[in-house]
Structure 1
Amino acid sequence: MHEWERIPREAARSLARLLPRVEQAFAAAGGNATDWAAFEQRLRREWPRLFELLLGLYGTQYDFFYHLEQLLIAMAQSWHERPHWLKQRDAVREADSEWFQSERMMGGVLYVDRFCGTLNRLREFIPYFNELGLTYLHLMPLFAAPEGNNDGGYAVSSYREVNPHIGTTAELAALAQELDRAGMSLVLDFVFNHTSDEHEWARRAQAGDPDYQEFYFLFPDRTMPDAYERTLREIFPTVRRGSFTWRPDMQRWVWTTFNSFQWDLNYANPAVFRAMAAEMLFLANLGVAVLRLDAVPFIWKRLGTNCENQPEAHQIIQAFNAIARVAAPALLFKSEAIVHPDDVLSYISPHECQLSYNPLLMALLWEALATREVKLLAHSLSHRFRLPAGCAWINYLRSHDDIGWTFDDNDARAVGIDPWGHRQFLNAFYTGRFAGSFARGLPFQENPDTGDARVSGTLASLAGLEQALGSGDPQMIDTAIRRIVLLHSVILSIGGIPLLYLGDEVGTVNDYSYVTDPAKAVDSRWVHRPARNQAGMDQRHDPATVPGRIFGELVRLIRLRTSLPALRDGAMEVVRSDNRHVLAYVRQAGSQRVLALANFSEYPQPIAGNLLRMYGPGVELFDVVAERAISANEALVLQPYQFVWLTPMR
C-alpha cells in the first residue's frame, strides 16, 4: 500500500476509536447535542490533515495516541466552554470567510500600559478608535511577565493571567466583547516560541522535574550548544553573544534565542505542542479574533542548520490552524516572520497563517524615501506581493520592533544595487549619520563582527518631522508631513489591511527618556514606544497644528478608502511609470479600477499622458484624493511627495 493510501485509512480508523471517548468526555462536562454535532462535523472535516500533520511530527513517539486523545478532549472541552457570543461570531465569519478582505478593514496597535495604563481605561478610548476608523485593534503583550526587562512583554510568565498592573483576565474578556460591539476585532500576541524563566513550566524545570525539563533545551556542558552555534545567527548580539545561557542553579545551558530570560520551547516534545494548543484555545475563548504568531521561524531546531524556517515549523502552525478551525472557527493567524521575503511568503496560506506582516513593503517604502527612487520597491513588489486566495497582507510603516532591511539580494542586484553597501547606506541614513539625512533614528543591535544593524525610531522622526520641528522651518515641516501622508497613502491603497501604530496619526516623535530607565536603557526600541501623545490628540481637530494636519489627512484617506471597492482584498499590479521617482500600481475589483501614483521625491515629477490612458484607462480621469478632473491628453505633474488615486471619469 502506498503511503498516500495508508495515512487516510489510519486517520479514519484512529478517529473511529477516539471519537466515542471524546464524545463521552464532552457529555460528562455538560455539553449538549447541538454543540457536539457542530464540533463533530468540523472535526471530521479537519481530521485527515490534522492527523497527518501530527503523525509526521510525533508518530514515532511511544505515547502518540495518548497525546492525540488528550488533545481532542481538550479541543472538545474548549468548544463547550466557548462563550455564546463567540459561537455566533464563528457562524457569521464562517459564512463570510473573506470578511477581513474588506476595504473597511483598518488596524491599530498599541501598548495598553503606555497608551492609557489599564484595560478598563482603554474602554474610554473606543470612540477615538472609531473616529480613526479602526476595525482591528492589536494590544501588545499584556500578560504576566517578569518585572523590569521583559522584552516588551514578550517574555510571558503566564498565558492566562493579565499583568496585574494592566488589569485582569475578566476585564480583557469584557473588553473583547465591547470592542466587538463597536465593530473592532481584538488582536493579541501568541508568544509560542519561548516562555519567560518565571513561567510555571520553567520553574518546574528549575526544580528538577524531568517532565518539564523536557519542555526546554537543557545541556550539561557546551558540547551540543557549540555544535548548534556553528550554524546559528545571533539575534541580539549586543545583549548576549550566542544563543545559550548558563544557569548556575540548574548547572545547565539553556537555549535562549533572544534574551537570557526567554527559554525556547522544545516542540519535538508532543507534550509541549499539546500544552501550547490549550493556551491558544484559552486565548481564543477570551474573544481574540486574530492571534499574532510571534517569532514563527524559530520554533523548530535542527542540528547543522540555522534553525530557522524548518519544515516542521510549518507543520506545527498548520496543526494549530486545523485545531482552531474545529474549536474556534473564526480565529485567524497572523504571521510575524521578519526573514527573507521567500520565507515570509512560505508561512501564508488559508491552512497556515491567513494574515502576515509585510516587512518587505515596510522596509522598501523607507528605502524609497531615502533614495527618492522606486526601482527596488517596484521590482520587488512586482513578483513578491501576490498571495494565495483567502489571505491578506498586514501593511505597516513601523511597529513596536526595529526596522531591518530584509529585501532580497538578487532583487537588489537586478536593479543595479549592491545589497551589502545599500544596507550600510540605509542604516547610516536613518540614524542621521549620512550627510543631508532628514531622519532621526537610532541603531539597534549593531553587530561589530558583521556590520549588521537595524534601526529604531518613530515614523515621524524617521520621516523628518523631528528634525523639521527642531529647525522651526515651516517648509521643512510641510515636507515632513507630506512624507508621512505619502507613506500612509500607499499602505491604505496597495492591498491588504493597513496598520497604524497609535501615536503616528498625530505625528509623535522619538521619546529619548527611555535611557533613564535601567530596564529599558539597553534597548533602543523604547525610543519609538512612547506614552500616549495626549497633547497631539487634543490638537487633532485643529488644522493649524502639525497633529491636526496629519490626523485630518489620515482620517480623510481612511474614510475615502472605505468608499472604494477596488481597494478590497490584495489583488495589485505594479505598472510602469517611466519615472524612477514615481511608484505606480493598479487596483481593481468588479467594475471599479484605481490607478495609484506616488512621488517619492521632493521635486515635481511628470507622468506622460499615454501612461494614464493605458492604465487609467480612458482620457478623462478623476483624482479621488484631490477631487479634481485629470485629462490624459497631457502630462500629469505630481508635486513633491504628492500621490493620486485615479479612476475613470463617469
Structure 2
Amino acid sequence: MKSKKNKKNAVNKDVKKAVKVSVVKKEDMFEARLHKHYDELKWLYCELYQQQPNPLNYFDDLIKNLKDFYEQREAYLKELDIAREKNTNWYKGNDFIGMMMYVNNFSGTLKGFEKRIPYLQESNVNYIHLMPLLTSPKDEGDGGYAVADFRNVQEELGTMEDLRKLAKKCHRNKISICLDFVMNHTSNQHEWAKKARAGEQEYQDRYFFFDNYDMPRLFEEKCPQVFPTTAPGNFTYLEDIHKFVMTTFYPYQWDLDYRNPIVFNEMVYNMLYLANQGVDIIRLDAVPYIWKQLGTNCRNLPQVHTLVRMMRMITEIVCPSVLLLGEVVMAPEKVVPYFGTIEKPECHMLYNVTTMATTWHTVATRDVSLLKHQLDILASLPKQYIFQNYLRCHDDIGWGLDYGFLRYQGIEEVAHKKYLNDFFTGKYPNSFSCGELYNDDESLGDARLCGTTASLCGIEYYDKQKDKDGIQSAIDLDLMLHGFLLSLSGIPVIYSGDEIAQYNDWEYKNDKYKQADSRYIHRGAFNWRKAGRRKIDNAIQAKVYQGISKMEKIRLQYDVFSTDANIYTLNTWNKSTVALVRETENEKFIGIYNFSEYEEMAWIDEQDGLYKELLTKQKDFKASGLKLLGHGILWLWRSKKA
C-alpha cells in the first residue's frame, strides 16, 4: 500500500504529465492552423510582393513572428480560441448586442470603465466598441485616428496594462471588446514618420514620398478627395525637407505604402499585439484605401482584398477567436466583396452603411420604397454575411443612397441631398430635427449630417418647446427606429447615450474639444445624471431606456432573431409602412414600422394562423389589414409547431 506522500507525488506527476500533454497539444494546434493556411498565405504573399527582392525572406520573418505572437497569448485567450473554433457562430445568435463609446466620455479612464460594467449588463450589452484610445497627438489626433504609437494608450486614459486588465474583466463578464485598428496611415508624430522626416530612406519607403509634384500630380488625376473642403488634395508639402508626402485624409496623417512588405508585416504585428491584450474584434479602419496604385482611383483595388484575406488567415492561425470588422463606407456594390467568398472569406463583419443612411432618408420622406428595396437586396445575400447595424456612430451620416433607384421616382441626387440636410438641420418647414452639417461643400451640393438619435428624432426640439405631444411623438419615432434596428439581420449596435435619449452637445462650438468639428456634437460626455432618470416613471430617459430594453429582452428570448433566419419583406400597399419578416423552421416574426407621424394602414394579409403581438403580449392577433399609430410598431410572432 502506497503512503500518502507517495500518492501525492504520483498525483503531482500525473498532473505535470497532463499539463505537458496539454501544452504539446496546443503547440501542435498552432502548427495545424498554420498548415491549413500555409500554401495559400505563401502564394498570395509572394504574388503580391513578387517585385520585391527576396520576398520569401519577408514571408519567413512573418511566419516566425506569428509563432511568437501565438506563444505570447495568455492561457485564457488560447482557451477562448479553442472554444470559438468549435463554435464559429458564437457571434451570430440573437444574444449579441453592442454599444460604442469613447472611454473618456463614458468613464473617464480605463480603470474607471470597470465600474461601469454593471450598467452595460443592465443595458443588455455584451459587446463594446471602444473608440480610438491609442496614443495620438492632442492637437492633430483626428479623434484618435492619427495614431502615433500602436502599442500604447493615450496617457489620460491609462496604460496598455489597464486595457489588458479591462479586457480580462470584460471576458469574465462575457463582454467582448472591439478596438479600432487604423491601418491606412499613421500620425506624422509616429516613430516611422519622425525617422522619415529626418531623412532615413528605410522609413521614407514606408510612406509615399516624392521630391517634386510630378508624381503627385499624376495621382491626383484619378484619386478623388476625401475631404475637399477641410483637407483638399491627397498630398502635403513638407517645407522643412522639400518633399511631398501622400495624405489622403488630413495633412498630419501620412498614408502607409503597403507595396512595401515591411509595412504589411509590421502592421500585422501591431494588430496581433492588440489581439493579445484581449481584444475580440479588430475594426479595420478605412480599409478600401490601403493600396495605392498610379492610374487608378486608389480605392477598392484587388490588392486590398489580398491584404485582407491574408489578415483573415493570420488571425485564424494566431488568434482564431478574433473577428475582423471592415469599415467600408462605400456604395453597396463595393461593400459586399469585403466578405470575400464562402471558401475564401475576408472580413467576418461589415458595417451596414447603406441601410443606416436609407433609414434616415425614410424618416425625412416618410416613403419606405427605397428602404424596402434595400432590405430585399440584403435578404438575397448569403446568411454567412454578417452586418453590423446601427442608427448612427461616432462619425457623420453621409447620403450614400441608391440614386439610380430614386431617379425612377423623379428624385435627383443633388437636390435630394439638400432636402435631407435642410430637413435634419431644422431649415425645412415643420422639421423637428436639430442636426448640424459636416464638410459642407456648396460646389458639389454635398454635406454630411451630425447629431444624436434623440436630437435627430425631435426629442430635443420638442423638449425645448415644452410640447408634451411633440415629445411623445418624437419618443415614438426614436423607439420605432430602435425596434427596426433590432429586427434587422445582423448585430445591433447602439451609440452610448442614445439609450437614454441624450441630446446634442452644443458646447463643442465653445472650444470644449480641441480641433472640434461638428462631429463632436454627438460625441459629448455621457450624462450619468440623466442616466439616473432611466428608472423614473414618465421621464424622457426612462421611456426611451425602458422601451429599448424591453425590445432587446424580447429579441433575446426568440430564436427567430438569430442570423440563420430567412428574411424577406411584405408589401403593405402603403408608402409609409414597411413589413419585415424573419422566419425559421419553427417560428415566424413580422415587424411592421410606420415612418409617418400619422395613423397608417399596413395592408398585409398573412393567412397562416394567429399571431402574438410581442410588445403588448396581445394574443390571437390577425396579421391582416393592420392599423398603426403615428410612428407605430408591431412585433408579431407565432410558433409554427403543431
TM range (shorter): over 0.9
Of 637, 644, 647, the match for 2:627 = 637
Cα distance in 1 for residues equivalent to 2:559 and 2:371: 25
Q: What secondary structure, in the 3-state scheme, does the structure 1 residue paired with 2:372 have?
A: helix
Aligned 8 A contact 1:237 1:446 in 2: no
Q: What secondary structure, in the 3-state scheme, does the structure 2 residue paired with 1:160 have?
A: strand
Q: What secondary structure, in the 3-state scheme, does the structure 1 residue paired with 2:150 have?
A: coil
Aligned 8 A contact 1:98 1:390 in 2: no
Pairing 1:587–2:582 present: yes
Aligned twin of 2:592: 597
Deviations 1:189-248 (A, max 9, x none): 010001101111111111111111011011111111111112222212232211111111
Given residue 642 of structure 1, which amino acid in structure 2 is its aligned partner? G
Which range is displaced more, 440-449 or 330-339? 440-449
Cα distance in 1 for residues equivalent to 2:624 and 2:554: 26
Of 147, 150, 160, the match for 2:141 = 150
Of 556, 573, 578, the match for 1:578 = 573
Pairing 1:102–2:93 present: yes
Structure 2 residue runs of 5 or longer lacking an equivalent are: 1-21
Cα distance in 1 for residues equivalent to 2:241 and 2:572: 62
Aligned twin of 1:513: 507
Q: What secondary structure, in the 3-state scheme, does the structure 2 residue paired with 1:445 have?
A: strand
Pairing 1:55–2:50 present: no
Cα distance in 1 for residues equivalent to 2:600 and 2:123: 31
Aligned 8 A contact 2:192 2:203 in 1: yes
Aligned 8 A contact 2:281 2:324 in 1: yes
Of 633, 640, 646, the match for 2:636 = 646
Deviations 1:306-363 (A, max 9, x none): 2111111111111111111101111100111111111111112462111111011110
Of 77, 80, 83, the match for 1:86 = 77
Aligned twin of 2:447: 453
Structure 1 residues 219 and 644: CA distance shift in structure 2, 3 A: same
Deviations 1:138-193 (A, max 9, x none): 10000100022311100001111011110110110110011011111010001000
Structure 1 residues 158 and 362: CA distance shift in structure 2, 3 A: same
Cα distance in 1 for residues equivalent to 2:623 and 2:588: 19
Of 483, 487, 495, the match for 1:493 = 487
Cα distance in 1 for residues equivalent to 2:213 and 2:110: 44
Of 40, 51, 60, the match for 1:69 = 60
Aligned twin of 1:10: none
Aligned twin of 2:274: 283
Structure 1 residues 511 and 518: CA distance shift in structure 2, 3 A: closer
Aligned 8 A contact 2:140 2:515 in 1: no
Deviations 1:558-616 (A, max 9, x none): 111001100101642122111111111111223111011101101111123xx2325xx
Structure 1 residues 519 and 231: CA distance shift in structure 2, 3 A: farther
Cα distance in 1 for residues equivalent to 2:52 and 2:570: 53
Structure 1 residues 383 and 154: CA distance shift in structure 2, 3 A: same
Across the two proteins, how many residue pairs are aligned to each other? Answer: 615
Deviations 1:411-437 (A, max 9, x none): 223454323322221122112222221
Which range is displaced more, 624-633 or 183-192? 624-633
Of 410, 413, 424, the match for 1:419 = 413
Aligned twin of 2:212: 221
Q: What secondary structure, in the 3-state scheme, does the structure 2 residue paired with 1:271 have?
A: helix
Q: What secondary structure, in the 3-state scheme, does the structure 2 residue paired with 1:113 have?
A: helix
Aligned 8 A contact 1:496 1:569 in 2: yes
Of 603, 620, 626, the match for 2:616 = 626
Pairing 1:566–2:556 present: no
Which range is displaced more, 626-635 or 239-248? 626-635
Given residue 612 of structure 2, which amino acid in structure 1 is its aligned partner? F
Aligned 8 A contact 2:577 2:600 in 1: yes
Aligned twin of 2:537: 543
Aligned twin of 2:402: 408
Aligned twin of 1:533: 527
Q: What secondary structure, in the 3-state scheme, does the structure 2 residue paired with 1:352 have?
A: coil
Q: What secondary structure, in the 3-state scheme, does the structure 2 residue paired with 1:390 have?
A: coil
Aligned 8 A contact 1:557 1:625 in 2: yes
Cα distance in 1 for residues equivalent to 2:443 and 2:213: 22
Deviations 1:348-390 (A, max 9, x none): 2462111111011110110111111100111122114544343
Q: What secondary structure, in the 3-state scheme, does the structure 2 residue paired with 1:329 have?
A: coil
Cα distance in 2 for residues equivalent to 1:174 and 1:64: 38
Q: What secondary structure, in the 3-state scheme, does the structure 2 residue paired with 1:635 have?
A: strand
Given residue 293 of structure 1, which amino acid in structure 2 is its aligned partner? L
Deviations 1:69-102 (A, max 9, x none): 0000010000011110000101111111011111
Aligned 8 A contact 1:514 1:521 in 2: no
Which range is displaced more, 398-407 or 46-55? 46-55
Given residue 636 of structure 1, which amino acid in structure 2 is its aligned partner? L
Pairing 1:313–2:304 present: yes
Aligned twin of 2:16: none
Aligned twin of 1:123: 114
Structure 1 residues 634 and 51: CA distance shift in structure 2, 3 A: closer
1:447, distance to aligned residue in structure 2 (A): 1.7
Given residue 62 of structure 1, which amino acid in structure 2 is its aligned partner? P
Pairing 1:299–2:293 present: no
1:630, distance to aligned residue in structure 2 (A): 5.1
Given residue 206 of structure 2, which amino acid in structure 1 is its aligned partner? F
Listed as ranges, the matches of 1:139-538 within 5 Å are 139-349=130-340, 351-517=345-511, 520=514, 522-538=516-532
Given residue 64 of structure 1, which amino acid in structure 2 is its aligned partner? P
Aligned twin of 2:602: 607
Given residue 226 of structure 1, which amino acid in structure 2 is its aligned partner? R
Aligned 8 A contact 1:173 1:286 in 2: yes
Given residue 606 of structure 2, which amino acid in structure 1 is its aligned partner? R
Given residue 583 of structure 2, which amino acid in structure 1 is its aligned partner? Q
Which range is displaced more, 55-64 or 308-317? 55-64
Aligned 8 A contact 2:309 2:346 in 1: yes
Structure 1 residues 282 and 633: CA distance shift in structure 2, 3 A: closer
- Aligned-pair identity in percent equals 36
Q: What secondary structure, in the 3-state scheme, does the structure 1 residue paired with 2:154 have?
A: coil
Aligned twin of 1:5: none
Aligned twin of 2:11: none
1:111, distance to aligned residue in structure 2 (A): 0.2
Instruction: Give the alignment's TM-score, normalised by structure 1.
Output: 0.92
Q: What secondary structure, in the 3-state scheme, does the structure 1 residue paired with 2:387 have?
A: strand
Deviations 1:463-509 (A, max 9, x none): 11111111110001001101111110011111111001010000111
Aligned 8 A contact 1:622 1:649 in 2: no
Given residue 153 of structure 2, which amino acid in structure 1 is its aligned partner? V
Which range is displaced more, 534-543 or 128-137? 534-543
Aligned 8 A contact 1:176 1:288 in 2: yes
1:633, distance to aligned residue in structure 2 (A): 7.9
